[in-house]
Amino acid sequence: MAQEAVPRGRAYGAALLTLLAPGLGHWLLGRRGRGVALFAIVSVTFLSGLLFDGALFPLRAENWLFRLGGIAEAGSGLLYLLGRLLGLGALEQARVTGVMFGYGNTFLVTAGLMNMLLMMDAFDIAIGRKS
């Protein structure tokens, strides 16, 4: 049985654009309202993490738990990159021993994981697996 050709290039493009900005893939696929809402939710989660004294872990941290955290946070894409470039959420003694450190990290890691999920969601929408 012949299978219908699926636009894989468009799907990978949508997923990569989501990495650039949360919700951008959805927006370009015609789900404009959803794209804007998702951008707002992921960005607020990320910014809350920074406000709650979370750290943006480097991808090459010595501590393997910090490294895992960095990989998850990097899912936020451009937000993570900008934060690192601006020196936000640096791993300092005062931050690490702060009472809100764990909470802030949870927000930042969750923002990254949310965006990874959005990449897959945009991919599924583009290939027609999801409406």
Sites of contact with other proteins (CB under 8 A): 34, 37-38, 41-42, 44-45, 48, 51-53, 98-100, 103, 106-107, 110, 114, 117-118, 121, 131
Q: Which is nearer to other proteins, 23 or 70 (CB)?
A: 23
- Could you write out the three-class secondary structure of 8-54? HHHHHHHHHHHHHCCCHHHHHCCCHHHHHHHHHHHHHHHHHHHHCCC
Q: Which is nearer to other proteins, 48 or 61 (CB)?
A: 48
Q: For residue 117, give both structure tokens.
A: 């999920």
Q: For residue 65, give both structure tokens.
A: 């738990």
Least distance CB 36 / other proteins (angstroms): 10
Least distance CB 27 / other proteins (angstroms): 13
